[in-house]
Amino acid sequence: MFKKRSPNIVFRPRRLRRSPACRELVAETTLSPSDFIYPLFVKEGLSDPIPIPTLPGQRQWNVRGAVLEARRAYSLGIPAVLLFGIPLKKDAEGSSAFGKNIITDTLMAIKESVPELVVFTDLCFCEYTDHGHCGVLDKDGDLDNDKTLDLLVKQGISHARAGVDMVAPSGMLDGMVSALRHGLDDAGFPSVGILSYAVKYASAFYGPFRAAVEGSLLQGDRRSAQMDPRNRHEALLEARLDVEQGADMLMVKPANTYLDVISDISREFPEHPLVAYQVSGEYAMIAAASEAGLLPWHEAMEESLIAMKRAGANCIISYYALMYAEYINQA
């Protein structure tokens, strides 16, 4: 006869954590190279790639180097790259952002070498203006939102002609998605997608990136354009406006300090793929702590990235993407 069990059965969750295989079997969140978009900084006039001191493991690339790095990323299972351009010439309107430039040259070269790779391009002017703001300024020195929209469309069409898959406007300008969607469609590029920096906070974690793209402000700040870190519900408004204007994908930036916002937007707009951007400061903190022997590099980085997926992100922009893919492939 079977003994009658006690009604007070103790459930032991540790049974499902007893072995690596068991933990893998019941894992609720997964992270793989196919989840990543890998950022690449391309600089005009370089003969050889240059290490970026503020972002350990990253470089400013010339066209040839960027193509080789993009090809390596794709071979490791990373499906997409995001290009940031650094011109030799800067002026008040960011005129180097238009027409043939370092971005269009790199874009065409990557598409010729790795046609299957998805290429995103950052659309902004902070790297191209001599004052470092994300567009043209009015007579009072404030960002001229609507005049900048016209230039943003011009920049986007330049990238579309060079073969971009998706443009990624990052200036947090009012109406930027609508302007780009109409501009691209009218220019004959209805299939070019838009990844909107829909929710971009005025964050203290952008410092290493500013040095990498040589786009620091001469005066003022970006708080009139980027979101106040104290606001959560406003993020839903910004995302909703971009969805209504035709965005194909949405982004939250930074990621680790705004996991609640990632969760909110993933629930509110489940039909729109959501990208989390692990920004330069978030990456550099872990790198610095690892160098100091305070954190295990790969484990800490992986945990921070899994947090973004667990919160609801579909894709992640991270400077660690290629290193993670290499680490996983060697495991």
Burial class (CB in 10 A: 0-12, 13-18, 19+), 108: middle
What the block records as the tokens of 22 is 């068991």
Q: Are 314 and 270 in contact (CB under 8 A)?
A: no
| Alpha-carbon distances, residue 165 vs 66, 82, 118, 176, 267 (angstroms) | 17, 10, 6, 18, 26
Residues 76, 331: Cα–Cα separation, whole Å: 13
Q: Is 309 a catalytic residue?
A: no
Residues 54, 208: Cα–Cα separation, whole Å: 5
Q: Which residue has the tokens 């008040």?
A: 92
Identity of the residue numbered 286: I
- Of the listed 43, 90, 111, 200, which one is catalytic? 200
Q: Of the candidates 85, 147, 68, 171, which has an alpha carbon nearest to the alpha carbon of residue 120?
A: 85
Q: Are 60 and 42 in contact (CB under 8 A)?
A: yes
Characterise 94 by phi-psi region: left (phi > 0), alpha (psi -120 to 50), beta (else).
left
Burial class (CB in 10 A: 0-12, 13-18, 19+), 71: middle
Q: Is 253 a catalytic residue?
A: yes
Strands 59-61 and 193-200, bridge-based pairing = unpaired
- Of the listed 43, 111, 253, 309, which one is catalytic? 253
Residues 104, 6: Cα–Cα separation, whole Å: 71
Find the helix or strand (DSSP H, E) in which 157 lies: helix 145-161
Active site residues: 200, 253
